Structure 1
Amino acid sequence: MPPGILTLADGLAEKATLSPANTGFMLICSALVMLMTPGLAFFYGGMVRVKSVLNMLMMSFISLGIVTVLWVLYGFGLAFGTDAGGVIGWNGDFAGLGHIGLTQLWGTTTIPIYVFAVFQLMFAVITPALISGALADRVKFTAWALFVGLWVTVVYFPVAHWVWADGGWLFKLGVIDFAGGTAVHINAGAAALGVLLVVGKRIGFKKDPMRPHSLPLVMLGAGLLWFGWFGFNAGSWLNNDDGVGAVAFLNTQVATAAAMLGWLAYEKLRHGSFTTLGAASGAVAGLVAITPACGAVSPLGALAVGAIAGVLCAMAVGLKYRFGYDDSLDVIGVHLVGGIVGSLLIGLFATGGVQSHAKGLFYGGGFGQLGKQAIGVVCVLLYSLVVSYVLAKAIDVVMGFRVGEDEEITGVDQAAHAETAYDFAGAGGGTAARRTTALGESPTKKVDA
């Protein structure tokens, strides 16, 4: 993604010049990644009960507001400014994004800094939104909004620097993360676990039915995520000149299809049915797993990554019942586990002929790359887990992270937003019809003046 990775490609021009084609391509990719956040909102919104739909949508949408503002003020500078010790960056010209030339290029790429900044912004937006799925039905909206602002500042911006920025310590180590297996998915999944340890389980967990209220909405969200993910992955090469982005695009499709089939096969063997929720979840698991690997593996490798991730993620979602943590919408089972699987499988399936010369174990590279990938996985997971727990605990002490029991039972939509997702007042003839029917009268009977 950053220019340092680009130098690994053969045939890179020594002196870059602005490319209108690549600039337009990256703007389209940025728009596709932005669409993923509303897609995620629909995906999560369909999976919750009716009383929590709007809150689930808003927990994603608020990220578009908060993270965008923070990114412009200081986030881009912290993530991609001049390196300081491999841990964080800073560049005064990036503060406020007001001191950058309109055609000033990003490093050795052929796109303006502004284009790179807006593309990376969309990654920063969706990452905290991913966490929200683990917390459905029970957290204060104000506490969540505060957590988003703090979390991106002290977790996401530094981790993005580690992984993608020139000088970032994981980048210099040689950890491969094409589009966000560590920085986005492991980061969000570990954070979800950290916050869950603070807020606890939903009322009725393991006792009351908590089925998705709208599977069509889930499928719509999954489809939008799949569509937008092509920008997420293919765009991460930052150009369309050498075919690497095309391989990433193809691998995204291949792995997602294989993961969906793998999840459904496991589901059929284990539970006896092919479910729409399984299809949607399997597709997302494949998208997650191929994200770090799409520029390192061949299409056959992508098939393996997807199939393995589909089965392992399907198995992992059941762990919450065994270990007693209430991950409402399986953020840990899909994003944390999928991110780990995809990141580690680079150490097995990297061909050394796409984004870089690094080879995995099955292509004669030994255990070296696998070891680097494992270091990246463990360090990001532990950092995000610990810091997220501390942030959530601090918010809980100061203002309370969780809604009251009555509000949770009634529904956070009413408590936080004073709205309901669906208005059934007009169904069957409206309030008057229900009143007259309840009185034993015909809803069509005329009432004398």
Structure 2
Amino acid sequence: MSLNLTGTPSTSGTGGSTLDTDLNTAYDLANMVWVGTAGALVWIMVPGIGLLYSGLSRKKHALSLLWASIMTCGVVSFQWFWWGYSLVFAHNTRGNGFIGTLEFFGFKDVLGAPSSVSTVPDILFAFFQGMFAMVTGILMVGGACERARLMPMMVFLFLWITIVYCPIACWTWNAEGWLAVFGALDYAGGGPVHITSGHGALIYAMILGKRNDPVAKSGMPKYKPHSVTSVVLGTVFLWFGWFGFNGGSAGNATIRAWYSCVSTNLAAACAALTWMFIDYFRFGRKWTTVGLCSGAIAGLVGITPAAGFVPVWASVIIGIVTAVGCNFAVDLKNLLHIDDGMDVYALHGVGGAIGSVMTGIFAADYVNDSAGAAAVAIDGGWINHHYKQVGYQLAAICCTVAWSSVVTAILLLIMDRIPFLRLRLRPEEEELGTDSAQIGEFTYEEDAVYIPEPVRSKVSAQVPEPPTGIDDKIAQNAASDGSISTENEARGKEKVTI
């Protein structure tokens, strides 16, 4: 039976009824393919951050940071469905662009009407932007490394995405958002993702307090990464996923999307080399792998607000300047006496701010207009003689820093005074390790694996009967000779079929 699709798509509600209207005719399918693919690329960044954090941590906390990345996918996905997308990208806002309404609560009517980016429908844009919320969430919880209780972390993450991330994202990316109307430029998340998560992580670390370290009683604890391999693998996932992060933010498959991918790659490459050379001269003249990875991430952060606005040659400058700024910003935790063990603030808070300012300097109208008919005109930055743009960028940075820092602090202080939402592990739990104290599973210690449910198998584990008669005497003699040392060693050789 053929469908009688004679209806005309609308621009409100669901966009029309799928029973009598082909909603796809309103969109270029190539644009939808690219934005959907980009969303999947951004998703891979979340476990990538988990691998990065896990590699930088100590062994006894390594699994908890991988756990945090998958937990973030779950919590933020639900929050985004529940009301997150509506609070950010509702077609109507409250408070002069401060926050969205709940018109899309529970994804009600999220289907085929044009989204804030008119080239794709609401349902696709909700998928794509939900990944950005996940990335922001996992970056922020990095401030709690090695000392936070996990259940309060989940509650905090849900609330933080709701009252910190969603308003800032609405200000910046909703067509009616007050920062967007004001004139601030942010291509893919310098403010909502990086500045917000960096300062959220800094406040989280500050309120939790310094990790217990009997050696570094006065300064900040500093530990070697337990797995540089995990750091590299996490960086690979991030660099790869960032092509979707920035390329997909064009909202279409135009030249602007691919232009931003080239800028993204070049900024990361230049920043990686810059950080490595700085570390070579600052720390023991070694070509450090962690330095390369840190620099690449700094460059990716710096180019994020700028990628779809600035010429390719400017990405070289942005990568170098961001790497230098973030490298020296790592030392700020010693001045501030805040134990930000994953350096989220230095890389994302500082890197996002640097990238935002550089956007105001290098934004060019011709790069923005490479999107063709889909482009929304801008005045550009300093290279277009629009000198006020840096002022707009600084105003946006200040508002984002103030909101994320103050609201995060208030939320954490309130939670910590609720007994069952106490934020920090007890000292003995922290010494034992988050993996053991909170999860009961381990990344490396196979002899201490905890299985939360009984092991069910078709064949039961068989324990040999004690030897009798002559066999008993042989066993006793062997034990006296030392050939059978202990009962536990003998049992360790048993074969268990599951």
TM-score normalised according to structure 1 size: 0.89
Q: 2:361 aligns with which of 332, 336, 348?
A: 348
Structure 1 runs not aligned, ≥5 long: 4-15, 427-444
The question of whether the paired residues in 2 share the 8 Å contact of 1:56 and 1:132 is answered with: no
Structure 2 runs not aligned, ≥5 long: 1-10, 12-24, 369-376, 449-481, 491-498
The question of whether the paired residues in 1 share the 8 Å contact of 2:272 and 2:323 is answered with: yes
Q: 2:402 aligns with which of 375, 382, 386?
A: 382
User: Secondary structure at 2:367's aligned position in 1?
Assistant: coil
The question of whether the paired residues in 1 share the 8 Å contact of 2:57 and 2:226 is answered with: yes
User: Secondary structure at 2:424's aligned position in 1?
Assistant: coil
What corresponds to 1:239 in structure 2?
252
Show CA shifts across 1:247-287 (max 9, x none): 11100001000111111111112112221111111110011
What corresponds to 2:138 in structure 1?
129
What corresponds to 2:57 in structure 1?
48
Aligned ranges 1:368-407 → 2 under 5 Å: 368-398=388-418, 399-407=421-429
AA matched with 2:282: R
Provide the C-alpha distance between the structure 2 equivalents of 1:261 and 1:108, rounded to a whole number of angstroms.
35
What corresponds to 2:380 in structure 1?
359
Provide the C-alpha distance between the structure 2 equivalents of 1:287 and 1:20, rounded to a whole number of angstroms.
29
Q: 2:106 aligns with which of 96, 101, 105?
A: 96
The question of whether the paired residues in 1 share the 8 Å contact of 2:116 and 2:174 is answered with: no
User: Secondary structure at 1:381's aligned position in 2?
Assistant: helix
Show CA shifts across 1:193-250 (max 9, x none): 2222211110115476521100000000000000000000000011013x11111110
Matched, 1:270 2:307: no
% same residue: 36
The question of whether the paired residues in 2 share the 8 Å contact of 1:49 and 1:213 is answered with: yes
What corresponds to 2:435 in structure 1?
413
Q: CA deviation at 1:446?
A: 4.0
Q: 2:319 aligns with which of 273, 288, 306?
A: 306
Aligned ranges 1:13-412 → 2 under 5 Å: 17-81=26-90, 82-84=92-94, 85-92=96-103, 94-101=104-111, 103-107=112-116, 109-204=118-213, 205=216, 206=219, 210-241=223-254, 243-271=255-283, 272-355=285-368, 356-361=377-382, 363-398=383-418, 399-412=421-434
Quickly say closer, same or farther: Cα 1:126–1:446, change in 2 above 3 A. Answer: same
AA matched with 2:93: D
User: Secondary structure at 2:428's aligned position in 1?
Assistant: helix
Q: CA deviation at 1:98?
A: 3.6
The question of whether the paired residues in 2 share the 8 Å contact of 1:197 and 1:389 is answered with: no
User: Secondary structure at 1:134's aligned position in 2?
Assistant: helix
AA matched with 1:121: G
What corresponds to 2:15 in structure 1?
none
The question of whether the paired residues in 2 share the 8 Å contact of 1:164 and 1:171 is answered with: yes
Provide the C-alpha distance between the structure 1 equivalents of 2:35 and 2:274, rounded to a whole number of angstroms.
32
The question of whether the paired residues in 2 share the 8 Å contact of 1:262 and 1:307 is answered with: yes
Q: CA deviation at 1:330?
A: 0.3
Provide the C-alpha distance between the structure 2 equivalents of 1:230 and 1:108, rounded to a whole number of angstroms.
19
Quickly say closer, same or farther: Cα 1:268–1:229, change in 2 above 3 A. Answer: same
Show CA shifts across 1:12-41 (max 9, x none): xxxx93111111111110100011001000
In our comparison, the structure showing a higher alpha carbon Rg is 2
What corresponds to 2:7 in structure 1?
none
The question of whether the paired residues in 2 share the 8 Å contact of 1:83 and 1:166 is answered with: no
Q: CA deviation at 1:91?
A: 4.4
Q: Which moved more, 1:283-292 or 1:344-353?
A: 344-353
Quickly say closer, same or farther: Cα 1:207–1:20, change in 2 above 3 A. Answer: closer
Show CA shifts across 1:333-385 (max 9, x none): 10001000000011211122112433322x14243000000000010011100
Provide the C-alpha distance between the structure 2 equivalents of 1:315 and 1:192, rounded to a whole number of angstroms.
18
Q: CA deviation at 1:105?
A: 2.9
Provide the C-alpha distance between the structure 2 equivalents of 1:207 and 1:379, rounded to a whole number of angstroms.
29
AA matched with 1:77: S
The question of whether the paired residues in 2 share the 8 Å contact of 1:79 and 1:88 is answered with: yes
The question of whether the paired residues in 1 share the 8 Å contact of 2:190 and 2:352 is answered with: yes
Q: Which moved more, 1:206-215 or 1:262-271?
A: 206-215
AA matched with 1:64: C
TM-score normalised according to structure 2 size: 0.80
Quickly say closer, same or farther: Cα 1:400–1:306, change in 2 above 3 A. Answer: same
Quickly say closer, same or farther: Cα 1:323–1:228, change in 2 above 3 A. Answer: same
Q: Which moved more, 1:58-67 or 1:409-418?
A: 58-67
The question of whether the paired residues in 2 share the 8 Å contact of 1:190 and 1:382 is answered with: no
AA matched with 1:213: H
Q: CA deviation at 1:185?
A: 0.2
The question of whether the paired residues in 1 share the 8 Å contact of 2:83 and 2:102 is answered with: no
What corresponds to 1:447 in structure 2?
484
The question of whether the paired residues in 2 share the 8 Å contact of 1:230 and 1:249 is answered with: yes
User: Secondary structure at 1:354's aligned position in 2?
Assistant: helix
User: Secondary structure at 1:293's aligned position in 2?
Assistant: coil
What corresponds to 1:433 in structure 2?
none
The question of whether the paired residues in 2 share the 8 Å contact of 1:109 and 1:239 is answered with: no
Provide the C-alpha distance between the structure 1 equivalents of 2:84 and 2:333, rounded to a whole number of angstroms.
34
Provide the C-alpha distance between the structure 2 equivalents of 1:397 and 1:100, rounded to a whole number of angstroms.
38
AA matched with 1:372: Y
Q: State the Cα RMSD in Å.
A: 2.0
